Amino acid sequence: MRRRTLAASLGAAAAAAAAFPVYTSLAAGKPRQQQSYTWRNVVVNGGGFVPGIVFNDTEAGLIYARTDIGGLYRWREDSQTWKPLTDWIGADHYGYTGIASVATDPVEPNRVYAAVGTYTNDWDPNNGAILYSDDYGDTWGVAELPFKLGGNMPGRGMGERLAVDPTDNKTLYLGAPNGNGLQRSTDYGRTWSKVESFPNPGNFVVTPGDPYNGDNQGVLWAEFDPTGGKIFVGVADPDDPLYVSSDGGSTWQPVAGAAEAIGRAGENRTIPKQAAADHASGHLFIATGNDPGPFTSAPSSGRGGEVQRLDIGTGEWTDVTPAYNPADRTPAFGGITVDRQKPGTIMVATLNNWQPDEILYRSTDSGQTWGTSWDKVAKPDGSQGRTDRFDLDHSASPWLTFGNTGDGWNLEVKHGWMIEALAIDPHDSDRIMWGTGATIWGTESLTQWDAQGDLVGEDGGALPIERFTVAVRAQGLEECSFQDVAALGGTLLSGVGDLGGFVHTDLTKAVMMIRKPNWTTGTSVDFAELNPDVLVGTGNVTSEHGHVAVSTDRGATWRPTTRVAGVPGDGHGGIVAVTADGSAILWTPGDSTVAPVRSIDLGQTWTAVAGLPAGAKIRADRANAGTVYAYAEGAFYRSTDGGASFSGTGASGLPGGNGVDFRAVFGREGHLWLAGGDGAGGMWRSQDGGSTWTKVAGLDQAQVVGFGKAAAGRDYPALYASARVGGTQGIYRSDDAGGTWTRINDDAHQWAFTNTRVTGDPEVYGRVYIATNGRGLIYGDIG
């Protein structure tokens, strides 16, 4: 999942110190919170890429899941849910929510470490860091690094880059990208230095010079052989991809035969993406690939990767790559794992075997033979079908169908894609979890696989087997990037990165996503204040439909609109608004030279709006159906004919640029609030439809603003803002029309990036909804 936050809005970057300073809090000196809030997620369950799942080898039930932009989670066995561990990360270090690797201590299980940093390019102004905890991740210290890490960059599913030495657990290793080599800490992660004796920093680059694909993937992972006292390290160098140390990391030697075994797959140069050591059998299994992933699949010709087995004692290499793919293609491989309780048992997953599905392979004889998680069969009518070892229970996340229905061997719900997190519980052979680009799947019945035998008989037909069930295991892990939110009272409408959008009538239950059109990302939503059955939304599309969708039954069903001439079909979601009575829809295409357009027939036809430039942000008055407003590059506009034409209001003093959020107040004609803008930003209000504006005092900066039910004894809606007050970035509420502001979040609940959308609830005083970039949609209630 590739999502980008706007670093420029977060203030100056904190300079990384070469001495690796340790922070016990990144929020020291902030003012006291004045009111207690309880924070929860609007439930989606998952919604993003989970590149790593790590079980602790010593303590049963201790599991960590890392995400590419949404932070780190710990499994709670009693509730079968995930607990977020990095919500304390604030805006100034938002990149720390990109978890490049995680390591759990096998000697002292209370110790856990995370290598953090979202981007290695200038999208993230800060360097990476190592987070260290002595209490299972409930509190953290921070050791800054002098280089960047890429939790949301290509290669983020490889590794794990971070590892604890089980023979000396105060010692940790970190495989670093971009020439930074192998790093080591000998004090439980507090300080780090480069291992000067390690000879190879890697050299594998996908696209030299490209800001996103131009990383030298560097040093990739470390695996330990405790019985033999060896440390193996994988390197992104096809000519020298594997090194070993037999003296505790003092000296390193290339492993003989590694270049031939894991540096080539047919004609393609490959790198050792993941490794799993079967200590009892004395084997090191390595999954290789010709690309770091996670998006790419096998090349158009040749082999995309292999599974190789190294006999640690003899140094012999054996190619144990699964030879059969029911989709009749040469696969690339993602995750690899071994069963600690059953020596010789290994599993590996394909990577982006897009059609019809991914394949899990399982071997109980160290890779000599393999079974597949599904196989193809010929249906009686001659069409292509399939038979599966397990059923997928997606009831916890209905949206995992993506609106599809089963067709032949394409099932309604898939094993997933981008499967690089694959882990068998070292304490329980029946439990496995794997991460995808959307969720976590898991089962506690894995060994039933071995009793099923073959899936297909000699005649090509399916053999009768007793299937087991694999179900969603993402409860509590909320990774969506929410782009816009509208609270109707009893209904919550949202636009979401990668998933389109949702209509929630119960905040505690995941629902089906909005379809027709199929938004790749939902960018903007709105509703008719005086006729709230009418909802509209827009998003990026690649289908034949238009970008805007309309519902006339409060979101129960949706219909697509027609395309607007001159607007490309790929992307360009933009901003949508609907007049207070629902009679007119206005749309500003995104990333386009096309000026805003208007429809009075629910999007079946569109006409150009007069008087507005391309890119203008539009909002409807919430009380007067004939009035619509717009903002562009510091100028404010108003329409009194339902958005057909606009004129400038002549307002002065507003911020420049288009980085603003302005909103109209429900129940108050002509009342507008505007936040953001170029430079330091701020907040302004108007009570005359945008003709004059007054800057709101008491705010250093403000990024977004929204409204909710008024406090008892007050007649003006409560205001909510993501803002900086007295040097403290946070979520603030005002009950007196902006006269005073109270911070309502605390240092433990900052969610890194909250500058996209904040709004209240029209029916519940104090309730606030906060759109985050990777921690889902947060809502808070007083108490």
Catalytically active residues, by annotation: 68, 498
End-to-end C-alpha distance for the chain, whole angstroms: 35
**The pairing of beta strand 468-472 with beta strand 390-393:** parallel
User: CA–CA separation, 642 vs 664, rounded Å?
Assistant: 15
Q: Using the structure block, give the residue that is written with the tokens 């980008």.
A: 4
User: CA–CA separation, 691 vs 248, rounded Å?
Assistant: 72
Q: Using the structure block, give the residue that is written with the tokens 């969708």.
A: 549
How is residue 523 written in tokens? Answer: 């960018």
User: CA–CA separation, 191 vs 357, rounded Å?
Assistant: 44
User: CA–CA separation, 496 vs 756, rounded Å?
Assistant: 11
Total residue count of the chain as it appears in this document: 783
CA distances from 419 to 73, 491, 569 (A): 18, 34, 29
The CA angle 125-126-128, to the nearest 5 degrees, is 140
What is the maximum span of the chain, computed from C-alpha positions, in angstroms?
83
Q: Are 757 and 12 in contact (CB under 8 A)?
A: no
**28-61: burial string, b at 16+ Cβ within 10 Å, e else:** eebeebeeebebebbbbbbbbbbbbbbbbbebee
Show Cβ contacts of residue 121 under 8 Å, excluding neighbours closer than 6 positions: 148, 211, 212
Tell me phi and psi for residue 100, to 5 degrees.
-75, -25
Q: Are 560 and 540 in contact (CB under 8 A)?
A: no
Q: Are 254 and 311 in contact (CB under 8 A)?
A: no
User: CA–CA separation, 215 vs 121, rounded Å?
Assistant: 9
Burial class (CB in 10 A: 0-12, 13-18, 19+), 267: exposed
CA distances from 8 to 521, 674, 727 (A): 22, 19, 17
Q: For residue 160, say if its preceding peptide bond is cis, omega within 30 degrees of 0.
A: yes
Q: Are 226 and 279 in contact (CB under 8 A)?
A: yes
User: CA–CA separation, 71 vs 451, rounded Å?
Assistant: 38
615: left (phi over 0), alpha (psi -120 to 50) or beta: left
User: CA–CA separation, 755 vs 703, rounded Å?
Assistant: 6
Q: Using the structure block, give the residue that is written with the tokens 């749309």.
A: 587
Show Cβ contacts of residue 544 under 8 Å, excluding neighbours closer than 6 positions: 563, 569
Q: Return the beta strands (E) in 406-542 as ranges.
A: 421-424, 432-435, 440-443, 468-472, 482-487, 492-496, 500-504, 521-527, 535-540
CA distances from 601 to 506, 527, 536, 626, 714 (A): 31, 16, 13, 16, 39
User: CA–CA separation, 582 vs 553, rounded Å?
Assistant: 12
Query: For residue 259, what is the enclosing H or E element?
Result: helix 258-262
Single-letter amino acid, residue 532: P
Show Cβ contacts of residue 247 under 8 Å, excluding neighbours closer than 6 positions: none
In the chain, count of helices (H) and strands (E)? 2, 61
Q: For residue 717, say if its preceding peptide bond is cis, omega within 30 degrees of 0.
A: no
How is residue 679 written in tokens? Answer: 């430079």
User: CA–CA separation, 493 vs 731, rounded Å?
Assistant: 21
